[in-house]
Structure 1
């Protein structure tokens, strides 16, 4: 189980990613549409931890705009270890600096992210499937690449822990 500080995308970009989720589901690949009663939204996570107390996160990030209206340009698809498939936005200086700022504020308040979300290690991404079956991996990646590019603007943010039914909007 994990919790995350997530940035959500504008409606047009979210709709395009949801179409991709549907295409993957039709292929036999479980997308993020399915887990946790379909509560996932297309997003980019800035910090991920085993647990996050939304009140403590809000206090640590007080005065900081998590939903910074960043422009994201999803230009590539990739695979993390474990056959986790994702879409990747260009890692602009503004995006990298924003993630490092959020990470630093949480760390200063004693909330450590998983190591892969540390500045310098973090790969900006929007996960589309958590475990693609090996025989479907090539086709899933082809579908992802066909959906690109996707231009997006960050419009909202939240602390989310779907397994524990926690969802708190952040400024």
Structure 2
């Protein structure tokens, strides 16, 4: 079971990201709208785990203080290996600290994380394209540029089973 700890966006932000996905899908670019199970939500991941179950992950995170809503701003595009393109987010220092607290709580509970979510390696991003081929990357970057800067408001946190899209809400927003 592959789990992720994610921040989910308010209705406005969710709608804006989904509109970007829809524009790209209409141009033949695969996005999270149609990726795998098709139940993806626009999100900002704090952590992707290599092991664990939803109950133990939630138990590890529930003691963390509820920091309330998170504000980040998409300022550009970031291209990851295998054609993954995302909104590159500028995150205030307190958001980075909150992500590091989540990671520390998961480590303390004996959970193993994907290396890119370890402190100092995390790149705050919101996934846009899932497998863009080389000639689609400029199209995706152009579509992203058309909506920038894009303020993003996350108002809740969940544990998501990435293979199915099943979600378990967290008590607060760590």
Same fold by TM-score, threshold 0.5 exceeded?
A: yes
1:12-54 deviation line (CA, Å, top 9, x unaligned): 1111110100011011111001124431111000000234311
Cα distance, 1:135 vs structure 2: 1.6
The residue number in structure 2 matching 1:100 is: 100
- TM-score normalised to the size of structure 1? 0.93
Cα distance, 1:165 vs structure 2: 5.1
Cα distance, 1:67 vs structure 2: 7.0
The question of 1:151 aligning with 2:151 is answered yes
- Matches of 1:44 and 1:167, distance apart in 2: 14
The residue number in structure 2 matching 1:40 is: 40
The question of 1:73 aligning with 2:73 is answered yes
- Matches of 1:102 and 1:118, distance apart in 2: 10
Gaps of 5+ in 2: none
Moved over 3 A (4+): 65-68
The question of 1:162 aligning with 2:162 is answered yes
Instruction: Decide whether the 8 Å contact of 2:6 with 2:158 is kept in 1.
Output: yes
- Matches of 1:165 and 1:21, distance apart in 2: 17
- Matches of 2:24 and 2:166, distance apart in 1: 27
- Matches of 1:140 and 1:33, distance apart in 2: 14
Gaps of 5+ in 1: none
- Matches of 2:40 and 2:66, distance apart in 1: 18
The residue number in structure 2 matching 1:16 is: 16
Q: Which deviates more from structure 2 when the two are superposed, residues 44-53 or residues 95-104?
A: 44-53
- TM-score normalised to the size of structure 2? 0.91
1:118-155 deviation line (CA, Å, top 9, x unaligned): 01000000111221022211111110111111112211
Change (3 A) 1:129 1:65: farther
Aligned ranges 1:122-141 → 2 under 5 Å: 122-141=122-141
Cα distance, 1:98 vs structure 2: 0.6
| Count of residue correspondences | 171
CA RMSD of aligned residues (A): 1.7
